[in-house]
């Protein structure tokens, strides 16, 4: 009897949840229809203002009381899209980290679609996305196998000798460099190997940053908690953890702090390497070259000291690194890939980046730390900027 009652209650609960979902969808459709007909709602004005935020976090650094606009923008979007329908592009961007591992197994169809004129037009008009990047055909897994690099698992770490542990480091992947700039990850592996370090790479896990930017707060929290399980386990081994892209790596010390107080220590490359490299004396020398750094906005605002650490690293290898003063490149993650932002993205780029990138005085010297910055330069000026790691690799290979 009790079993039957429990079954009936469960069935009733499912019906209530289903009705709630349907009711919520119906309300969002109705509200969106009314909005499109011009019905006034102050939250629409707030939404319009929030859509102009690049989530670069310059506000946090410059505001005396550290007002974090990207954070309350994300929270606002979660509430706003509880009343109105979300655009398709938000779901596409938010799910990218979860889809990309499967897409990368057979990248040809995806890459064809991203290059095809008809499909690009459809993506722009129907989805609202432009100039989406293509997946590298040479996979990270293949490149690591060729270099005999292990995944950072409990078994592989336990198998290390004390001497190996003392010089080991774990690279924490991010979706953008692992799948769209695979060679950069491999170049980092090569650099660290040449410097005498034992390199391991953490299995890929979605970071959740795109979810947070677009206000999928519940999904972000779920992704972050799952990722934290892996990162805490790796952190507990005592091996240093380093990330490549500044925006994605700094998520572990900013957005993740709202999910948990028990955060793993995931460092930017230069934060760890500037100390580690000085413990391993280098022999030989190469002619001094001058490089010029274009730093990522999030790196400048959330980890300003790390910019000077790049200069220390280059100086240790006898190279000169000048940090150029620039504003935002206009890409800012996926902001510049959204069709509605394309014109504004170009205008922002023209304010400071375009002149620097196209100046003959900087030819062959420019480096950029951010994936979005490098992709913006490639998109608008058809130039390929190296990451500082790649410049350091070119130097170390000559020692």
Q: What percent of the chain has pLDDT over 90?
A: 83
Residue 61 has what pLDDT? 67
Confidence of residue 162 (pLDDT cuts 50, 70, 90): very high
**280, two tokens:** 């391993």
Sketch the domain layout of the chain as residue ranges.
88-127, 140-277, 284-396
C-alpha torsion angle, residues 344, 348, 353, 359 (rounded to 10): 70
Query: Is residue 248's pLDDT more than 90?
Result: yes
* Spatial distance between the Cα atoms of 359 and 292, rounded to a whole number of angstroms: 12
Predicted confidence at residue 2, as pLDDT, reads: 37
CA–chain centroid gap for 96, Å, is 11
Please report the pLDDT score of residue 11 as a whole number: 52
Pick the CATH number of 140-277 from 3.40.120, 2.60.120, 3.30.70, 3.40.50: 3.40.50
Whole-number pLDDT of residue 23? 56
Query: What's the confidence (pLDDT) of residue 65?
Result: 65
CB 387 within 8 A of CB 310: no
| Per-residue pLDDT, 111 | 96
Note the pLDDT of residue 280: 75
Is residue 329 over pLDDT 90? yes
Query: In terms of Cα–Cα distance, which of 337, 101, 96 is closest to 219?
Result: 96
The 10s digit of each residue's pLDDT in 172-208 is 999 999 999 999 999 999 999 999 999 999 999 999 9
Closest residue by Cα to residue 392 from 369, 360, 363: 369
Please say if the pLDDT value at position 12 is more than 50.
no
124 vs 61, which has greater pLDDT?
124
Phi, psi of 320 (to 5 degrees): -105, 130
Are 208 and 227 within 8 A, CB to CB?
Answer: yes
pLDDT tens profile 63-88: 776 788 889 899 999 999 999 999 99
pLDDT number for residue 13? 41
Question: For 100-154, what is each residue's pLDDT tens digit?
Answer: 999 999 999 999 999 999 999 999 999 999 999 999 999 999 999 999 999 999 8
Residue 139, C-beta contacts closer than 8 angstroms, at least 6 positions apart: 104, 182
Task: Please calculate the CA angle 73-75-76 and round it to the nearest 5 degrees.
Answer: 65
């Amino acid at each position: 009897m009790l079993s039957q009652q429990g079954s009936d209650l469960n069935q009733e609960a499912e019906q209530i949840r289903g009705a709630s979902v349907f009711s919520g969808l119906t309300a969002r459709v109705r509200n969106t229809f009314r909005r499109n007909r011009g019905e006034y709602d102050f939250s629409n004005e707030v939404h319009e203002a929030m859509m102009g935020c690049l989530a670069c976090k310059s506000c946090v650094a410059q505001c005396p009381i550290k007002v974090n606009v990207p954070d309350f923008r994300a929270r606002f979007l979660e509430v706003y899209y509880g009343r109105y329908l979300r655009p398709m592009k938000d779901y596409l961007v938010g799910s990218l980290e979860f889809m990309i591992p499967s897409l990368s197994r057979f990248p040809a169809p995806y890459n064809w679609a991203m290059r095809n004129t008809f499909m690009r037009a459809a993506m722009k008009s129907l989805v609202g996305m432009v100039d989406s990047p293509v997946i590298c055909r040479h996979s990270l897994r293949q490149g690591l196998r060729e270099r005999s690099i292990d995944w950072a698992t409990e078994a592989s770490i336990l198998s290390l000798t004390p001497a190996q542990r003392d010089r080991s480091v774990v690279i924490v992947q991010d979706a953008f460099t692992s799948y769209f700039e695979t060679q950069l990850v491999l170049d980092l592996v090569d650099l660290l190997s040449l410097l005498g370090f034992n390199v391991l790479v953490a299995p890929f896990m979605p970071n959740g940053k795109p979810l947070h930017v677009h206000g999928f707060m519940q999904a972000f929290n779920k992704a972050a908690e799952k990722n934290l399980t892996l990162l805490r386990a790796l952190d507990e081994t005592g091996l240093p953890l380093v990330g490549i892209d500044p925006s994605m790596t700094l998520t572990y010390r900013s957005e993740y702090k709202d999910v948990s107080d028990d955060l793993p220590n995931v460092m930017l490359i230069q934060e760890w390497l500037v100390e580690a490299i000085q413990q391993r004396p280098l022999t030989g020398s190469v002619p001094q070259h001058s490089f010029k750094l274009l730093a990522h906005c999030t790196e400048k605002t959330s980890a300003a000291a790390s910019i000077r650490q790049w200069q220390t690293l280059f100086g240790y290898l006898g190279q000169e690194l000048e940090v150029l003063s620039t504003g935002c490149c206009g890409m800012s993650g996926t902001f510049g890939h959204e069709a509605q932002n394309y014109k504004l993205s170009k205008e922002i780029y023209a304010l400071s980046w375009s002149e620097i990138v196209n100046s003959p005085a900087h030819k062959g010297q420019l480096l950029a730390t951010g994936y979005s910055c490098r992709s913006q330069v490639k998109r608008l000026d058809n130039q390929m900027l190296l990451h500082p790691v790649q410049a350091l690799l070119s130097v170390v290979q000559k020692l």
